[in-house]
Each structure stands twice: as C-alpha cells, then as structure tokens.
C-alpha cells in the first residue's frame, strides 16, 4: 500500500507574505528588499519607503544598501509593523493587542516616530482604537505609554464606568502616573458635575385648587430620593471610583430614575415641572466632558 507523509518541518517555512509579495508594486516600483521574520516568512518591501520614515536607517539595518535581511519579530508582528509603515489598514485582518504592542516596540526600534503615524484616521490610530470597546483599559494604557494623546483621549470615553480600584499594578505602571490621574480626575469631575446637575429639584408651580405648596413637596422628596439612589453620599464625597456606574449613566437611565421616583405624583402641573426639570438635567449631562 502506498504511504504518504507530510514533511516534518515548519509548515510555514519559506512562505511568502500575501501582501508583501514580490509583486507588491507601490508607485510603479517593485520591491527591492526582502525581510525575513523570525518564523521564516518573507516580506518584500521597498527600502526607500522604510528609510523615508525611519530616523535611524531602520535600526541601522539599512545603513548600506542590502537586498535581504532578517529580523527577530515573528511574521504576525512584522506584518503589522509594515502595514503601519505603508499606511495600510490592519483592520480587515485584525491582530491581537499583544501583536500590536510588539509592533509598536518594533517601530520604535526601527526609528519610526509613533506620534506621526498615530494621528486621527491614520491606520495606527484606527487599529489601537479598535481595541477600545473590548479591552478599554489595556488599549488606554498602550496609548498612554506611548504618549499618543489623541488616542488616549478617544479611548478614555470607553472608561467612564471602569472601576479604577480594579486596575492592575502592571497597567498603572504602563500608563504612568499622569494618565492614571487624568482618568481618575475624569471620573471625579463627572461625578461632581452629575451631583451639581441633579441637585436642584423641579420648580414649584402656582397653587391650584388641586395642588397646594405642601402637596408639591412630594415631588421634591421623590427627587431627593432618586438623587440618593444615583449618587450614594459616601461615594460622591470620598470614593469616586466606587460610584463609577453613575459617571457613565445614560440620559435614558437618568430620565427613568427620576420619572419612576415620582410615579405616584398625580398633579398634571407637578408632572409638567418634573418633565421640564428632567429635560434640563438630560441636556446638561450630555454637555459634560466624556474624555480626559
Ligand atoms: Zn402640583
């Protein structure tokens, strides 16, 4: 019986990158340099392109003309690195955050300034921001670590409900004290803003045969009750991170909290005053800053 066996070697050995192939033509030019990753994948690139963005001749590897070189990064990391250099989006085939972080380190090693490639709408910006909905604190730490200000600000909007008391030492160190305290200040300032916005109860209406000033106190009491539910006093004053869910409260949740608290109020004028006040609160809350 005929037998067949697969070769006992790395199945990727001597593979060629799909994108960075010998036919990867940019501005009418074919590649003049072959870079081999640590796991033996070959990437065909343009040395001029690499030299144009690097301030150290691509880590010194291109100080003199060469046609082939090997780098210590695995193909997944080298692929991200080259995509960023060429200004091509990585999102169709998104790498892990770890691979992206390794690619950032590689870019720095090869003399490429991250801030110039991480401007809003650039592929590097979009790549790091794409992690924000899933790994907000990790993505924030990466942006902060590399001082990518616009990215860190954009990602911070995903951290309004993040409990900072849960953050690991490793992430705190990575983002540094400045970006950590800016995040804490964002939480604190939103908590203070919310407390101030909801402080004032609905206005009273002129006394009617149906409703005197005494009965109108029912609305104020309901308002105060909802207030205490939203922001427990001890959290508001001393431990802002314990009430972070309030810093991320939606206008819908605000509305239902105050509407439900006053559900028993029957007077149509009181209900109108309540409605107007809730609309004011919603408007003011949406105007509060959501980023560092
Ligand atoms: Zn009334």
**What separation in Å is there between the alpha carbon of 283 and the centre of ligand 1?**
24
Pick 104 or 2 by higher pLDDT: 104
**What separation in Å is there between the alpha carbon of 204 and the centre of ligand 1?**
7
Give the whole-angstrom CA distance, residue 224 versus residue 228: 6
What CATH architecture does domain 15-130 belong to?
2-Layer Sandwich (3.30)
Residue 163: CB atoms within 10 A of its CB come to 14
pLDDT band at 274 (very low <50, low <70, confident <90, very high): very high
Model pLDDT for residues 12-35, shown as the tens digit of each residue: 457 999 999 999 999 999 999 999
Give the whole-angstrom CA distance, residue 178 versus residue 175: 8
pLDDT band at 142 (very low <50, low <70, confident <90, very high): very high
**What separation in Å is there between the alpha carbon of 212 and the centre of ligand 1?**
7
Query: According to the model, what pLDDT value does residue 257 have?
Result: 92
Average pLDDT (169-184) is 96
Give the whole-angstrom CA distance, residue 64 versus residue 78: 21
Pairing state between β 41-45 and 33-36: antiparallel
Query: According to the model, what pLDDT value does residue 14 have?
Result: 73
**What separation in Å is there between the alpha carbon of 227 and the centre of ligand 1?**
20
**What separation in Å is there between the alpha carbon of 258 and the centre of ligand 1?**
16
Q: Domain coordinates of the chain in residue numbers?
A: 15-130, 188-286
pLDDT band at 3 (very low <50, low <70, confident <90, very high): very low
Mean pLDDT of the chain: 90
Query: According to the model, what pLDDT value does residue 229 have?
Result: 86
**What separation in Å is there between the alpha carbon of 209 and the centre of ligand 1?**
10
Give the chain's end-to-end CA distance (angstroms, integer): 70
**What separation in Å is there between the alpha carbon of 264 and the centre of ligand 1?**
12
- In this structure, which residues have their CB less than 5 angstroms from ion ligand 1? 211, 267, 269-270
Pull the structure tokens for residue 217.
């106190």
Residue 26: CB atoms within 10 A of its CB come to 12
Region of 165 please: left (phi>0), alpha (psi -120 to 50) or beta. Answer: alpha
User: What phi and psi values does residue 72 have, to the nearest 5 degrees?
Assistant: -80, -10
3-state secondary structure the chain: CCCCCCCCCCCCCCEECCCCCCCCCECCECCCEEEECCCCEEEEECHHHHHHHCCCCCCCCCCCCCCEEECCCCHHHHHHHHHHHCCCCCCCCCCCHHHHHHHHHHHHHCCCCHHHHCCCCCHHHHHHHCCCCCCHHHHHHHHHHCCCHHHHHHHHHHHCCCCHHHCCHHHHHHHHHHHHHHHHHHHHHHHHHHHHHHHCCCCCCCCCCCCCHHHHHHHHHHHHHHHHHHCCHHHHHCCHHHHHHHHCCCHHHHHHHHHHHCCCCCCHHHHHHHHHHHHHHHHHHHCCCCCC
Average pLDDT (246-255) is 88
Pull the structure tokens for residue 256.
């239902």
**What separation in Å is there between the alpha carbon of 266 and the centre of ligand 1?**
8
The answer to whether residue 83 scores a pLDDT higher than 90 is yes
Model pLDDT for residues 42-65, shown as the tens digit of each residue: 999 999 999 999 999 999 999 999
Residue 255 contacts residue 278 (beta carbons within 8 Å): yes
Residue 49 contacts residue 85 (beta carbons within 8 Å): yes
**What separation in Å is there between the alpha carbon of 229 and the centre of ligand 1?**
23
The answer to whether residue 271 scores a pLDDT higher than 70 is yes
Average pLDDT (271-286) is 96
């Amino acid at each position: 019986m005929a037998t067949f066996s697969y070769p006992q070697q790395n199945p990727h050995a001597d593979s060629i990158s799909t994108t960075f192939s010998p036919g990867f033509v940019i501005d009418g030019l074919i590649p003049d340099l072959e870079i081999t990753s640590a796991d033996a994948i070959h990437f065909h690139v343009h040395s001029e392109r690499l030299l144009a963005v690097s301030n150290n001749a691509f880590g010194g590897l291109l100080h003199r003309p060469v046609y082939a070189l090997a780098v210590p990064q695995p193909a997944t990391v080298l692929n991200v690195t080259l995509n960023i250099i060429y200004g091509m989006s990585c999102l169709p085939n998104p790498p892990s955050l770890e691979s992206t972080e390794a690619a950032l380190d590689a870019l720095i090693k090869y003399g490429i300034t991250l801030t110039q490639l991480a401007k809003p709408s650039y592929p590097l910006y979009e790549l790091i921001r794409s992690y924000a909905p899933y790994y907000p604190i990790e993505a924030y730490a990466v942006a902060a670590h590399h001082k990518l200000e616009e990215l860190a600000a954009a990602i911070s909007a995903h951290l309004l409900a993040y409990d900072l008391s849960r953050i690991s030492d490793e992430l705190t160190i990575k983002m540094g004290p400045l970006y950590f305290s800016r995040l804490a200040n964002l939480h604190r300032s939103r908590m203070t803003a919310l407390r101030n916005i909801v402080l004032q109860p609905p206005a009273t209406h002129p006394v009617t045969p149906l409703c005197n000033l005494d009965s109108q106190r029912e609305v104020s009491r309901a308002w105060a009750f909802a207030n205490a539910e939203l922001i427990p006093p001890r959290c508001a004053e001393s431990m802002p991170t314990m009430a972070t869910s309030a810093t991320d409260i939606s206008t819908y949740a605000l509305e239902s909290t105050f509407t439900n608290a006053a559900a028993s109020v029957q007077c149509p004028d009181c209900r109108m005053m309540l409605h107007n006040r809730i609309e004011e609160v919603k408007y003011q809350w949406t105007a509060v800053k959501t980023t560092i």
